[in-house]
Amino acid sequence: MTPHPALAALLALLSAVGFSFSTSFQHLAAGRVHVDVTHPVRVLLSLLRSPRWIVGSMIGLTAWFLHALALNLGTLALVQPIILLGVVLAVFVRAAIDRRWPGRHEVLGVVVTIVSLIAVVSVADTEHRAVRPDTSAMLTVVAVALVIAVVVTRSSNQLPRRGVAAFTLGATAGMLFGVTACLMKVAGRAVGDHGVLGALGTWSPWALLLGAFVAMSLNQRAYQLSRLSHSMPVLNVTSVLLSIVLGALMFGENLSTAPLALAVQALGLAGIAWGLFRIADSPLVRPASVRADAP
């Protein structure tokens, strides 16, 4: 597939629009799962009976396909920050569902997040390279991420506060989403080399499906446990940061070490975290089952 940064950015933007609808529908459904259902896989199985969640997932699947195309045309450092616009756009989707205008609280979060995303993308490496990551190194990253996910899943129910548990699950889900973004590039190249059926005979599509399933399970459990502000900011910042690092380590993307570029990226990530916190703490995106004073 011929590299094309502008097309990659456009596809990532379309994917972000899809994710904004998918996230809104899924979050509404997850907030209605009974709090006694605690295991992430059981939460996901419960959601499979929700028509709203199924519709959201179908939209999400389309957005995921566009995301995969974008990653195979552009760099992780370019595509992953743009995907975060889905969270920003979800504010307006939820406002439309609730038939109300976003307040100044939400709009300020949106503006800060967008400006911060532009800052991060402005110093990102946009030159796509045909570097193939070392298979053993990639498998090691996947294995370590899955082991961490298992440990976090087992320990999250023992944490004293639901907000802390949601934060921990969100960070772990963000780590896995960062890893699956890399796997999407690997699987996309497998499809280009062997075709769809031939790619199924390689390891990457199966590792991608496993990683995505575990990440989604942890994410839905975090949605169920507490308000979005406890999990969404750390999930997205972790995902973007890890994607940038893995893009440099695995795919030969340039990771600028110039002081100014590092400062811009650090401020951009901090701004993203702050803006997403403002967005996620909005009544527009709180689960129906979580009170405003939930821990």
Q: Which of 172-181, 184-193, 242-251, 265-274 has the highest mean pLDDT?
A: 172-181
Tokens encoding 238: 């972790």
Task: Return the higher-pLDDT residue of 102 and 12.
Answer: 12
* 42-51 average pLDDT score: 73
Global pTM? 0.75
Q: How much is the mean pLDDT over the chain?
A: 80
More confident residue, 209 or 231: 209
Phi, psi of 29 (to 5 degrees): -70, -40
The residue-averaged pLDDT of 221-240 equals 77
Separation between Cα atoms, residue 104 and residue 146, nearest integer Å: 40
Whether residue 73 has pLDDT greater than 90? no
pLDDT band at 1 (very low <50, low <70, confident <90, very high): low
pLDDT band for position 229 (cuts 50, 70, 90): low
Nearest of 30, 60, 71 to residue 224 by alpha carbon: 30
For residue 134, give the DSSP letter.
Answer: P
Whole-number pLDDT of residue 35: 58
By CB atoms closer than 10 A (0-12, 13-18, 19+), residue 167 is buried
- For residue 208, the model assigns a pLDDT of 92
Greater confidence (193 vs 291) lies with 193
Q: Does residue 204 or residue 35 have the better pLDDT?
A: 204
In the predicted model, is pLDDT for residue 130 greater than 70? Answer: no
What is the mean predicted confidence (pLDDT) over 231-251? 84
Long-range (24+ apart) CB contacts under 8 A made by 101-107 are 102/282, 102/284, 103/282, 105/278, 105/281, 105/282, 106/278, 106/279, 106/282, 106/284
Indicate the range of 152-161, 207-216, 285-294 predicted with least confidence.
285-294
CA pair distance 124, 115, nearest whole angstrom: 15
- The pLDDT score that the predictor gives to residue 291 is 37
Q: What is the pLDDT of residue 142?
A: 93
C-alpha radius of gyration, the chain, whole number: 18
Q: Which residue has the tokens 């004073």?
A: 293
Contact 106, 282 (CB under 8 A): yes
Q: What is the pLDDT of residues 54-72, one digit of tens each?
A: 888 888 889 988 988 888 8
Residue among 171, 165, 189 nearest 233 (CA)? 171
Between residues 103 and 290, the one the model is more confident about: 103
The yes-or-no verdict on residue 293 having pLDDT over 50 is: no
DSSP 202-255: SSHHHHHHHHHHHHHHHHHHHHHHS-GGGTHHHHHHHHHHHHHHHHHHHH----
- For residue 80, pLDDT beyond 70: yes
Report the pLDDT averaged over residues 215-244. Answer: 80
97: pLDDT strictly greater than 60: yes
More confident residue, 267 or 256: 267
90: which 2 tokens? 């979800």
Average pLDDT over residues 168-178: 90
Asked whether the CA dihedral 116, 122, 123, 124 is positive or negative, the reply is positive
Instruction: State percent of the chain over pLDDT 70.
Output: 85
Q: What is the pLDDT of residue 91?
A: 76
Tokens, residue 5: 């940064």
